[in-house]
Chain A
Amino acid sequence: MTPNKLGLNLAMLLAVGLPALAQVDLSGSWASKNHEDAMERGAGPNPVDWAGLPLNEFGRAKALAFSQSTISMPERICWFQTQWHIAAGPFNLKMWNETDPLTGKTIAWVVGGWETRAPMTIWMDGRPRPSKNAPHDQTGFTLGSWDGDVLTAVTTHMKTGYMRRNGAAMSDQATMTTHFIRHGSMLTVAAVLEDPVYLTEPYILTRSYTESPTLLDSAGPPCIPGDEGVEEGRVPHYLPGKNPFLDEMNKVYGIPQEAAMGGSQTMYPEFRDKIKDKVANPGKCKRNCGN
């Protein structure tokens, strides 16, 4: 075979639609392991427990004003979580890719929705991000790219929501960067939240999933409005200095208020040395004891 023929054959081989080696198939039904932060993901965090959240003074003030009854107001009954709930919530994930009908190439990855979270469409086709002044909606706007075999998705244009389900809020200026990392039949989701309004540093959560043979739904079930006990016209809240649960974590678990109030220092292991003399022995566990 002449070099020219060899070169031509090689070129033909390369022209055949070989998949990009960096791209990984993330599609499937992924069952959440919920072994990290299990209580927070499931039953939910305690009131005034913001340890590990890099809240600034505004984030802390907003959280202190929050009453859980707020989301039972008639106009907030079916209020949606933001995409951050992928990281902070308990549910399984259903993922699939949307393809161009002509070329078959992936133009988007979709993370299916839940009853209170809209689907996340991760656009892979190079479209531009909308103006920062474009409307924000339940889905936000997400662009994705491959970093080796890791899919990185950057979400903006989210509505105001909560980064933890006890009032620690995230603003509509927040950016969420999510890394989807598949390793065999496991999927790790590492999410980073940056919020110039309420946080001093990025807040990072990870979750693990296993591939499930059980077919998951891609959305729902739908939330149905109904009377949850808060009458029309009442807006549950706590005025400054009036939150009655400031000492909850100390009373129940012996964790000092300094830790429960959050702040970036509470994210780091050396904070334990700083407060070790202030941690009280709570006695026998009475609530959410992990069994």
Chain B
Amino acid sequence: MRSKLLVLLFAGVTVLGVRAYAHHSFASTYLEDQKMTVEGNVVQFLYRNPHSFVHVEAKGKDGTEVRWAVEWGAGGQLGSQGINRDTLKPGDHVVIIGMPGRNPDDHRLRMMNITRPSDGWTWGGTVE
């Protein structure tokens, strides 16, 4: 029972991001003093270097499906936090909070927090 509680607790713990360095400029790519929330289903989880990406399809204000590209840490960086290529799967319903990209046509966010309501898994922090 205790071990099950520990597992549940671990699954729900928010892990702070480890700082790493971008090959592009975050300040030039994102509006770092703003936040937005995207809720939708994962269509692709690119676990890679230099930056992993979570692609989420979410309904826009007009009801059409919009595909968002959410930038995350490098594969090795996320791996050190217990996140691997199987952590997210296509079809997972997620809520993501992130900094919006400066170019609205990109539909792009920089990951700050991700939650999967189905099991309470969550991650929060920033990667550079």
Contacts and interface: CB of A to CB of B under 8 A. Distances in A.
Interface string B93-112: 00000000111011110000
B103 A115 contact: no
Given A67-B103, A69-B101, A227-B44, A44 B25 contact: yes
A68 B21 contact: no
Interface string B12-41: 000000010111111111001100000000
A43 B23 contact: no
A45 B32 CA distance: 12
Contacts of A234: 105
B103 A68 contact: yes
B78 interface: no
B105 A228 contact: no
Interface of A: 39, 41-47, 67-69, 71-72, 81, 89-91, 115-116, 165-167, 221-224, 226-230, 234, 236, 245, 286-288
Contacts of A223: 23, 49-50
A229 B19 CA distance: 23
Given A68-B102, A229-B69, A229-B108, A45 B50 contact: no
A226 B25 contact: no
Contacts of A226: 46, 48, 53
Interface residues of B, number: 34
B71 interface: yes
A286 B31 CA distance: 12
B128 interface: yes
Contact of A228 (B19, B53, B128): B53
A110 to B, nearest CB: 21
A72 B44 contact: no
A90 B107 CA distance: 28
Contact of B26 (A43, A72, A167, A222): A43
A48 to B, nearest CB: 9
Contacts of B50: 115-116, 223
B32 A287 contact: yes
Interface of B: 19, 21-29, 32-33, 44, 46, 48-51, 53, 55, 68-69, 71, 74-76, 101-103, 105-108, 128
Contacts of A222: 49
21 contacts: A43-B22, A44-B24, A44-B28, A44-B29, A47-B27, A47-B28, A69-B29, A69-B103, A69-B106, A69-B108, A71-B24, A91-B21, A115-B49, A115-B50, A116-B50, A224-B49, A228-B71, A229-B68, A229-B106, A236-B106, A286-B33
B25 A116 contact: no
B25 A224 contact: no
A287 B33 contact: yes
Contacts of B51: 228
Given A43-B128, A45-B28, A165-B28, A229 B22 contact: no
A158 to B, nearest CB: 17
Nearest to B29: A68
A81 B74 CA distance: 18
Contacts of A230: 106
A39 B71 CA distance: 19
A224 B28 contact: no
A90 B23 CA distance: 9
Please list the 6 inter-chain residue pairs (A to B) with the smallest Cβ-Cβ separation, ordered nearest first. Answer: A44-B25, A229-B69, A224-B48, A226-B46, A165-B25, A90-B21
Contacts of B106: 69, 72, 229-230, 236
A271 B48 CA distance: 44
B102 A245 contact: yes
Contacts of B71: 228
Interface centre among A44, A46, A81, A288 (most CB of B within 10 A): A44
Nearest to A66: B28
A228 to B, nearest CB: 6
